[in-house]
Amino acid sequence: MDIDSGPKVMGDDGEFHATDDAVDLSHTPFEAWAALALFWALGGTVFYQFFTRYALNNSASWTEEIARYLLIGVVFVGASIGVARNNHIQVDLLYRYLPARACRALALLVDVLRIAFLGSMSVFTVQMMQKMGPLPMTIVDLPMNIVYSVVLFGFVVMTLRSIWVMKVHWQRGYSVLERPESHMDDR
């Protein structure tokens, strides 16, 4: 392999001339921004806990509970990003050995079951929130339903994204399970 066959980063003047591609955040979904905000709030809370515990030697008691709830929010809101990109864990070995029609039917069933599961989790979360009522958090005097409303938001967005993923699969005639080399952006 010739060392000069790659991209040229060193100019004739001996200076380094590498440029980055422009960053385009216009395709970032709103739930990714929400997950990022929750993540930064989590980071700030953990830093405050670290600072009060080790620098001030007087740990703030509320930080551990709030950090736990923020982590729950990051997980459920962030999971919707994985649903939108259709890159959650999947087993596609069976699809290599089945006939094309069976693969298509099975992939459609997977899409329908994902929508049904996430939709039912949304309903169950609402039912749990109704039963809990104004039950407060352990240390902070706020209702626990704040945490569950973030979980509900994550489930609802995951359900809506699953419907969108199924629509994309239906329109293009195959899913990622049938063609693992494809992506959601391949349309």
pLDDT tens, position by position, 4-40: 566 666 777 777 777 778 888 888 889 999 999 999 9
Domain extent listing, the chain: 29-172
Burial 37-70 (b: 16+ CB within 10 A, else e): ebbeebeebbebbeeeeeeeeeeeebbebbbebb
Instruction: Render pLDDT for 44-80 as a digit per residue (tens, 0 to 9).
Output: 999 999 999 999 988 888 999 999 999 999 999 999 9
Q: Which of 183, 175, 174, 178 is nearest to 96 (CA)?
A: 178
